[in-house]
Structure 1
Amino acid sequence: MPLNIYIISHPIIKLLTNSFINNTIQYEYTYKYIGFILIYEILRKYIKIKQIHIKCIYYTQIINILDKSETYYIFTDLVNTYHMITDIKILLPNIKIINFEEKINLSLKEKIKNINRNNNILILEMNLNKYSTIELITQLQKEADISLNKITIGCIKCNNDILEKLGIQYPKLNIYTTQII
């Protein structure tokens, strides 16, 4: 299984994930914070920032802005991950969230066709245990010609079975998780 699996070991993620997995806390804020930190850990390698130097009379002001040429897509099942991605649009206005359910339908295929091959794709799941994720990656490669180094999977926990299947079909895929079951 030659996947690139990154287990996030941030102390806050460990505490929140432990309460999520053991069902000791049932708050929606737990999902919100886990999702926020998980997306931060994943996207911090991919986000490109430009510096703008504004020359004033007596000083130069430096402003950091997002590179508008970079677009990011999150494919997720909004029913399950809504609390995880509620505030991400505020921080990254050029991120596009696409609802992805169990089956790939015609409207999803149309959205995939409109994606540029240079865009970064994040597939976000609570629990990576569905084979529809493999089908989505296949569609992204076939319809939009997106390479595997532009596709990343993020999940709170993932099953070993699906990792083995992904490792066979997509050995260079990046997966970020907090726990492997």
Structure 2
Amino acid sequence: MLLNIYLISHPIIKILSNSITYLNNNQTINEYNYKYLGLFLIYEIMRKHISLKSIYINKISYIKEISILDSNIEYYIITNLLNTHYIIGDIKILIPNINIINITNNIESMNDQIKEQINYLNKNKKIIILDNILDQSWTMILISNLINELNINTNSINIACLACYNQILDNIGQKYPQLNIYTTKII
């Protein structure tokens, strides 16, 4: 297994990630913990992979610089919103240009949902597969479809999960060793 696994180890993330294995009785607290963990994960991924362009506005007495997303690159988050809706809400507010593709765990409909929403003309895509706990085989099928059917480069695919099982990491590592996985906990 030669995966690039980024185990986010900031002290705040470590405290929040305890809620994954030791669920609180208060559902609202769990949702807030998941929300903030998700935001930290997306922050880590975007920090390394987002591309910005600077625009300089010449004022009378000074020059103002504004940073915007590179319009030549499309950003996608592929997720099952039933599981990750509390994470995604704030991300869409912070990064309005990001495209969110809601998928189900049904393999046949998952392929159709992705094909309908991904722009085939633009080759510059950055894709994040987001899940709470990476423990299902649909992730392997999704990665395979993105690479084989949509011709997405593996360097453009990142996986973000709050926690993941060792066995799934082994399976992904054997088939796609160059993928990047961002997580807060390995179970």
Q: What interval of TM-score do these two structures reach, taking the shorter chain for normalisation? A: over 0.9
Aligned to 2:180: 174
Consecutive unaligned residues of structure 2, counting only runs of 5 or more, are: none
Aligned to 1:165: 171
SS in 2 for 1:152: strand
2:81 is equivalent to residue 78 of structure 1: yes
CA distance in 1, matches of 2:149, 2:82: 25
Aligned-pair CA distance for 1:134: 0.4
Aligned-pair CA distance for 1:53: 1.1
CA distance in 2, matches of 1:119, 1:20: 31
Question: Are the structure 2 counterparts of residues 109 and 155 from structure 1 closer, same or farther at C-alpha, using a change threshold of 3 Å?
Answer: closer
Aligned to 2:20: 20
**Contact 2:34 2:162 survives alignment (8 Å):** no
**Contact 1:114 1:144 survives alignment (8 Å):** no
Aligned to 1:144: 150
Aligned-pair CA distance for 1:108: 2.0
Query: One-letter code of the match for 1:146?
Result: I
Consecutive unaligned residues of structure 1, counting only runs of 5 or more, are: none
CA distance in 2, matches of 1:37, 1:159: 20
Map residues 21-100 of structure 1 onto 2, 5 A cutoff.
21-24=21-24, 26=27, 27=29, 28-100=31-103
How many percent identity over aligned positions? 50
Deviation per CA, 1:14-58: give whole Å up to 9, x if none: 111112321135322112111111111111111111111111111
Aligned-pair CA distance for 1:107: 2.5
Aligned to 1:5: 5
Aligned to 1:133: 139
